[in-house]
Amino acid sequence: MSAVTMEKGKKELCFNNKRSCGLWLTLVGAVLLASLAFGGRFLINPVIFLAGYYISFYIANINKKVRTKLSQGPASKFQIRMIFISIAFLFFMMFCIAGPYIPSMNWRMIWLGVNLATGLHFSGFYFVHGKSMLAIGAVCTVLSVCGYIFADHTTAFLLADAAAKLIFGIYLLVFGKPTKAYIRSNA
């Protein structure tokens, strides 16, 4: 299935890499759960999280054998551009939301800020993977906001966030099929 086709002022997007996204979310969810299990005063153990995150990133996004096996077609230049924009947005939002709490080492606010930024950045991945990204983005955003509101239960909301990523990831990995969406085009 072609990644993008043009027709009567509309751009057709084909979401061909849902299974790759599913593997990535599954791995990140598992890493979050392990990091929470050994979090201690950090809530989420940063050493376990960062090591697991980078290993998972390599497995799901860089390893060509895995990407080829899971991909069901190419991504368009527009979709690749949206990946980079969404990742840049993620880092900008982490800096703005979680960054102010780094000097005081307020781990609760740091991790909730990271999770809120992550939930918000999923919206840009709609253009890469489809509606499922809006759903997981909404779930992760709501869980982060609840973690801010209900301070005594922060760990429960962080666990729920990790479980949501794991569940969405497994669903996309197992059941992800290419779909299409149409967006307006200036051409």
pLDDT digits (tens, 9 = 90+) for 118-176: 999 999 999 999 999 999 999 999 999 999 999 999 999 999 999 999 999 999 999 99
Residue 58 in domain: yes
Q: In terms of residue numbers, what domain contains 40? A: 13-177
Residue 184 banded pLDDT, cuts 50, 70, 90 = confident
Q: Is residue 187 part of a domain?
A: no
pLDDT band at residue 8 using 50, 70 and 90 as cut-offs? low
Residue 182 within a domain: no
Report the DSSP beta bridge partners of residue 10.
7, 184
| 132, part of any domain | yes
pLDDT band at residue 45 under the 50/70/90 scheme: very high
| Any domain includes 72 | yes
- The residue-averaged pLDDT of 16-22 equals 94
Q: In terms of Cα–Cα distance, which of 35, 52, 51 is closest to 107?
A: 35
Q: Which of 163, 46, 166, 50 is nearest to 110 (CA)?
A: 46
Domain count within the chain = 1
Residues 6+ apart with CB under 8 A from 111: 43, 44, 98, 158
Other beta carbons within 10 Å of 54:
12
Residue 98 has pLDDT above 90, yes or no: yes
* Bridge partners, residue 4, by sequence: 13
Q: Please indicate, yes or no, if residue 186 is contained in any of the structural domains.
A: no
Q: Has residue 8 been placed in a domain? A: no
Mean pLDDT of the chain: 93
Its pTM stands at 0.90
Tell whether 133 is covered by a domain. yes
